[in-house]
Amino acid sequence: MRCFAFCVLLCVPVLAAAQQTVVIHNAVVETLGPAGRLEGATVILRDGKIAAVGKDVPVPDFARVIDAQGGTLMPGIVDPYFQVAITPASSDSGERTTVIRGRPFPFGGGFGGRTASAFTRIADNFYPYDPGLKPLPRVGICRANVVSSGVGQAAVIRCTPDQPETMLVQPDGPIYASVTNSTESLDQIRSRLQRGSRGSGPAPTGSATAPAPSAALNDPWKDVLEGKKPLLVEANTAAAVVHVVKFLQAYPDVKLVLFVAGDAVPETLPLLKERKVCVVLRPRFDFLPASRDRFSAPRMLHENGVEVVFSLTARPPRPPAITPPTQQQQQEEEQQTVPGVERDFPLFPVAMQVKTGLPRQIALEALTKKPAALLGCEKTHGSIEPGKAADLLLFTGDPLDPASRLRLTIIDGRITHAQ
């Protein structure tokens, strides 16, 4: 009996390892690491991590082998600015009607239940059963930094909607804010940064001994002030960019990341260069200001030495329904796509950028390595190297070829989407 138990103990790890080991061979591998581009290479995945990458890697026994003849393997896409619409869930936020002396009076729900200056912590509001998250693996997005409108603290998720409980991987993400050029909007970040910098000063006024109740809320802002966490600001126009950058000149330690529309780039380029801002934008072609001429903002930024990061997704068109889905809705969801991303050609806009002069390597890094670095997980994500997390995309051909399809999406060593 004891002997048998010992045998079982011996066998279990072996079996488990055998189940988890996946070998992809015969693939072209865009490692985006020091190894560069490898042709006819083999990648071994074990325990959710990449165990080995190379041309002459011995294939272990008991492994699941995927023949990727003619296919290309690239690291999973990391989306640094995945917007979700968060509906308030507090008990007093919804509208309700009270009848007083026979006359109905509506109460609450005045401005959608949210004020502009409210601070939203995404991790507390994240709804992993959101049908809008389902198609993310299908378009190759393996990790996403979830933000919303207004101001708050983002959260990084891994896009495994089939395992909703384990999606939230980094609840304390960067601080995000979407601003326009108006006092109310700019004060969302200005007043908080000013408060944060006062609080960290040597002689705080008022309650010096007892920490204020809001001290916990101010913590992420302290990290922002010290440059530990980036500050993600969505600035909708060139004017908003100018106002944000000018204000942050007083805070040189703040690591500013701007999410902008491409048409705000030409006018603000000198400012962006001077500040060394990292710019997140959609791979699109925009109009030059006051003209009908199209241009590529990513290329312009890259050629002027500004770091570019791509976000494929667009703002969600409507808040997701949180009612239980009907069967018909479920069928629709299977057809549903990520807003802003073509279902079958997710990388087509990036391919267009490469076709019009953005270097291929820069474009691929802007999808994977750069956003991973932005979110502070460059040690584990963003490239195909031994020891890193096994977030991989296998395309039937070159990822930037419109004729190729996304065959497999592997997140943490597990096939999350297969076509």
Partner 1 sequence: MRSDRPILGLAFLMMMASLLVAEENKDSQSAKPTSPPIAIVGGDVYTVSHGVIPRGTVLIQDGKIAAVGKDVAIPENALRIEAAGKCVTPGFVAISASNVGIRTGTGARGRTGEPAPPQGVTGRVVDAINPYDRNILFCLASGITTACVEVSGGGTGRFGRDALDLEELDETNVCPCCGMTYLPLEPITAPNPTERTPRRHAVLRMTFGELDRMLVKESPFYHLPAGAFAGAFNKHQWRETIKRAKEQVRDRNEGEDEGGFGGFGGGFGRRVPEEVVQLVEKKIPLRTDAASVEQIRTALALAKELGYAVILEGVHEAWLIPEELKEAQAQVILTPRSRRRPQLGKEDSTGSSIETAGILERTGVPFAVATLGNSVNLDGIPGRDLTSLMLEAAFAVRGGCSDDTALAAITINPARMLGLDKRIGSIEIGKDADLLILTGPPLDYHSHVDKALVGGKVYYDRVRENIYPDLPNRPKSTTQTKR
CA distance 382 to 31: 9
239 binds partner 1 (CB under 8 A): yes
Q: Could you tell me if 45 and 24 are in contact, meaning their C-beta atoms sit under 8 angstroms apart?
A: yes
Quote the least distance from Cβ 244 to partner 1, whole Å: 11
Longest dimension (CA), the chain: 84
267 binds partner 1 (CB under 8 A): yes
Question: Which one, 35 or 288, has the nearer CB to partner 1?
Answer: 288
305 binds partner 1 (CB under 8 A): no
54 binds partner 1 (CB under 8 A): no
Distances (CA, A) of 352 to 22, 85, 296, 360, 400: 33, 29, 10, 11, 9
- Encoded tokens for 400: 């930037």
Residue from 164, 266, 316, 325 touching partner 1 (CB under 8 A): that is 266
192 binds partner 1 (CB under 8 A): no
- Encoded tokens for 286: 């925009």
Query: Among residue numbers 111 through 130, which ones bind partner 1 (CB under 8 A)?
Result: none
Residue from 13, 102, 202, 270 touching partner 1 (CB under 8 A): that is 270
Residue from 237, 336, 337, 380 touching partner 1 (CB under 8 A): that is 237
Q: Which residues contact 194 (CB under 8 A, 6 or more apart)?
A: none
Residue from 91, 183, 323, 326 touching partner 1 (CB under 8 A): that is 183
401 binds partner 1 (CB under 8 A): no
Question: Which one, 263 or 378, has the nearer CB to partner 1?
Answer: 263
274 binds partner 1 (CB under 8 A): no
Distances (CA, A) of 182 to 140, 147, 177, 189: 37, 21, 14, 12
Q: Which residue has the tokens 């204020």?
A: 212
- Start-to-end CA span in the chain (Å): 46
238 binds partner 1 (CB under 8 A): yes
294 binds partner 1 (CB under 8 A): yes
246 binds partner 1 (CB under 8 A): yes
CA distance 296 to 63: 45
Residue from 124, 293, 332, 334 touching partner 1 (CB under 8 A): that is 293
Quote the least distance from Cβ 283 to partner 1, whole Å: 18
289 binds partner 1 (CB under 8 A): yes
261 binds partner 1 (CB under 8 A): no
358 binds partner 1 (CB under 8 A): no
315 binds partner 1 (CB under 8 A): no
275 binds partner 1 (CB under 8 A): no
Q: CB neighbours (10 Å) of residue 130?
A: 20
Contact range with partner 1 by CB under 8 A, out of 18-26, 191-199, 293-301, 362-370? 293-301
104 binds partner 1 (CB under 8 A): no
Q: Which helix (H) or strand (E) holds 215?
A: helix 215-225
288 binds partner 1 (CB under 8 A): yes
291 binds partner 1 (CB under 8 A): yes
- Encoded tokens for 148: 């919303």
Continuous H helices in 35-126: 122-125
186 binds partner 1 (CB under 8 A): yes
Q: CB neighbours (10 Å) of residue 91?
A: 7
Q: Which residue has the tokens 């943490």?
A: 412
Quote the least distance from Cβ 302 to partner 1, whole Å: 13
300 binds partner 1 (CB under 8 A): yes
CA distance 266 to 284: 14
CA distance 27 to 39: 6
- Single-letter code of the amino acid located at 381: H
Question: Which one, 186 or 373, has the nearer CB to partner 1?
Answer: 186
Question: Which one, 73 or 256, has the nearer CB to partner 1?
Answer: 256
Give the residue among 343, 373, 369, 361 at the shortest CA–CA distance from 400.
361
Distances (CA, A) of 410 to 58, 230, 391, 401, 417: 21, 28, 5, 20, 7
Quote the least distance from Cβ 149 to partner 1, whole Å: 16
Question: Which one, 297 or 384, has the nearer CB to partner 1?
Answer: 297
Interface positions with partner 1 (CB under 8 A): 181-184, 186-187, 237-239, 242-243, 246, 266-267, 269-270, 288-291, 293-295, 300
